[in-house]
Structure 1
Amino acid sequence: MKSPILRLDTMKFTYISLLILVSPILFLSCKGKFNFSKQKAENEKIVVQYGEHFLTDRDLKLILPKDYTKEDSVNWVKTYIEEWVKKKAIVDKAEENIDELTLKEIENKIVEYRQDLLINAYNNYLIEKNIKDSVTDEELFQYYEKHKDSFPLVKEVVQFRAITVDKSEENQAERLFNSSKDEDFDEVMKMVLQAGNAYHDKDSIWYSPEYIAAQFPELNQNDQLSQLISRRKVKISDENTVTLIKILNLKPKGSTAPYEFVKPTIKNLLLNKRKLNLLSELQNQLYKEAINKNEIKINEN
């Protein structure tokens, strides 16, 4: 399928015929050159024109979805142009009838909004360039140790293991899995891997019970998730396999959240703090530079 850019080039004549159908006011004649407030690049071509407003081929390329067919693209452009003309017509009518003070107020808001957009975009650029990965694990842990009381758990979290074995190996697998010896767990994992069955051995990570239930939907039946939390182990059987799940550690609701569980939250907190500091420092630096270069002029009259 061709890209929207190629489609626009091949649809040149389609656009022209389409625009004539859209509205008779699109191509109003005008003496001399049009005085556009919008700037057009040299490599752009004007496709739609209404009064002092215009759309270029580049504008239309930007609004076209990439996965649309040629026919869909024509319909999309037609609809977009109709709405564009209606909006521009309302804007022109508003400018004719709204008083100058209101227009000035709107212009000031536009300037402020543009400034906010530019500041936000530049801030994101600085973040990407300077502080995206600037928080070390040591800083994260130090923050946690200092503020751990600020991270109470709103729900219980657990560390767990889970394996699935063939039904014929159920007894041996259950004995090894429930053992506290590392070598027994290694032995049962060999059975699981040789059979190509599923398992979960990320036992150093903390999870919510809802996460476990999402991985093992059978736990949502017959209150098995509650049984797992209270008894610390549960067995799920079907015709051919048996899944064994065991809770290794549990942190109750209201207790201090484990470091690894809140580590992403702490990182976001520190990054946001650095974002604010970075922007504030940059603003102060630019202000001082402007003063030193005598670039600030204040008319007191």
Structure 2
Amino acid sequence: MHKLLYYIAFLLLLSSCEYFQQAQPVDAVVIAGDAYLSQEDIENLLPEQYTKEDSTIIVSSYINNWATERLLMQNARKNISLSQQEQLDKLIEKYRFELYSQAYKQELTKQNLDTVIKLAAIENYFKQHQKDFKLNEDLVQFRYIQLDPLYTDVDMVDKLFNKGSIDAFKKLDSLCLGFKSHFLNDSIWVQKNIVFNRVTTITPSNEERYIKDNKYWKLEDSVGVYLVRFNNVLRRGDNAPLSYVKPTIKQVLLNRRKLNYIKKLEKDLLDDAIKSKKFQIKS
């Protein structure tokens, strides 16, 4: 490991005789202009358990990137005008303030913001903005079962499937290990493409024939027997159902709550600073 580190350091040092003219810290292992890495810096890069091959890849990659960044920075300081450097330093300082401020606000928000959005608030928002929720894709409520072509009791499964009662679904759940695939939760809305992925006999070229409200199909191909029932179908441009856009509305309301909390936080911060005379505007 030590041989590897000193070898890499040696290669970097050879790239300019200027390196040998500078005073080097005693614990420096890698020098790049006026920057350096110590033995401890290098060792901290490595995970607790590593092989010789791992250490070679990790250390050499890091050192090359580190040296490139430092040398570019040093050359930039020498070749970019002082006025441009001042502008860059102001941007860096502004970014530094923004990073600290954002981290602080995020932490306070995480600790203090109530993230529970009640169903009544979601429903109220949906009623007020329902015209804004138009579908940009087709949705379906459907269930299906795919059986092996040699499945021995297709008729029994078919009867349970069409019955659609809670007891029938419980019975189907107990038999599901014998199915090739299945989806029985036909109360939720899903994207139409899921139908094409799950039921390969239904394709974009024949969907108009099969994907309709309240339609049942028993279909077969070389890989299986498909029992399919469509409850409802919504087309692109239709009003989106509440259950489908509920997560979106919840996020909208949560974001609004976050913004209001941050505005209040910033206002209270200024008010407190004015009262305590930490913030003053002198004429």
The TM-score by the shorter chain falls in which range?
A: 0.7 to 0.9
Structure 1, unmatched stretches of 5+, are 1-10, 35-44
1:209 deviation in Å? 0.6
Report the Cα distance in structure 2 between the residues aligned to 1:50 and 1:280, rounded to whole angstroms.
Answer: 46
Q: Is the contact made by 1:205 and 1:260 (CA closer than 8 Å) also made in structure 2?
A: yes
TM-score (norm: length of structure 2): 0.79
Report the Cα distance in structure 2 between the residues aligned to 1:132 and 1:57, rounded to whole angstroms.
Answer: 47
Instruction: Give the counterpart of 1:107 among 89, 98, 105.
Output: 89
Counterpart code for 1:21: L
- DSSP 3-state at the match of 2:277: coil
- 1:75 equivalent in structure 2: 57
- 2:12 equivalent in structure 1: 22
1:210 deviation in Å? 0.8
Is 1:170 equivalent to 2:154 in the alignment? Answer: yes
Counterpart code for 1:203: D
1:275 deviation in Å? 2.2
Counterpart code for 1:257: A
Is 1:213 equivalent to 2:196 in the alignment? Answer: yes
Per-residue deviation, residues 248-297 of structure 1 (Å, max 9, x unmatched): 12223222211110011111111221222222222222222221221235
Judge which range, 235-244 or 250-259, deviates more. 235-244
Report the Cα distance in structure 2 between the residues aligned to 1:57 and 1:246, rounded to whole angstroms.
Answer: 68
Q: Is the contact made by 1:158 and 1:207 (CA closer than 8 Å) also made in structure 2?
A: yes
Is 1:203 equivalent to 2:212 in the alignment? Answer: no
Report the Cα distance in structure 2 between the residues aligned to 1:239 and 1:98, rounded to whole angstroms.
Answer: 70
Instruction: Give the counterpart of 1:264 among 241, 247, 266.
Output: 247
Identity %: 27
Judge which range, 50-59 or 282-291, deviates more. 50-59
Judge which range, 170-179 or 200-209, deviates more. 170-179
User: Which aligned pairs between 1:1-301 and structure 2 lie closer than 5 A?
Assistant: 11-24=1-14, 28=20, 30=22, 47-55=29-37, 69-131=51-113, 133-165=115-147, 167-179=151-163, 182=165, 185-186=168-169, 189=172, 192-193=175-176, 195=178, 198-220=181-203, 223-230=205-212, 232-238=215-221, 241-297=224-280
Report the Cα distance in structure 1 between the residues aligned to 2:237 and 2:130, rounded to whole angstroms.
Answer: 12
- DSSP 3-state at the match of 1:220: coil
Q: Is the contact made by 1:173 and 1:188 (CA closer than 8 Å) also made in structure 2?
A: no
Structure 2, unmatched stretches of 5+, are none
TM-score (norm: length of structure 1): 0.75
Judge which range, 185-194 or 156-165, deviates more. 185-194
How much is the aligned-residue C-alpha RMSD, in angstroms? 3.6
Judge which range, 193-202 or 254-263, deviates more. 193-202
Distance 1:90 1:241, change over 3 A: closer
Per-residue deviation, residues 174-196 of structure 1 (Å, max 9, x unmatched): 355335x6278448727844745
- DSSP 3-state at the match of 2:153: helix
Q: Is the contact made by 2:117 and 2:253 (CA closer than 8 Å) also made in structure 1?
A: yes
Judge which range, 96-105 or 253-262, deviates more. 96-105
Distance 1:183 1:106, change over 3 A: closer
Q: Is the contact made by 2:113 and 2:261 (CA closer than 8 Å) also made in structure 1?
A: no
Counterpart code for 2:186: D
1:158 deviation in Å? 1.3
Distance 1:33 1:186, change over 3 A: closer
1:50 deviation in Å? 3.2
Judge which range, 12-21 or 57-66, deviates more. 57-66
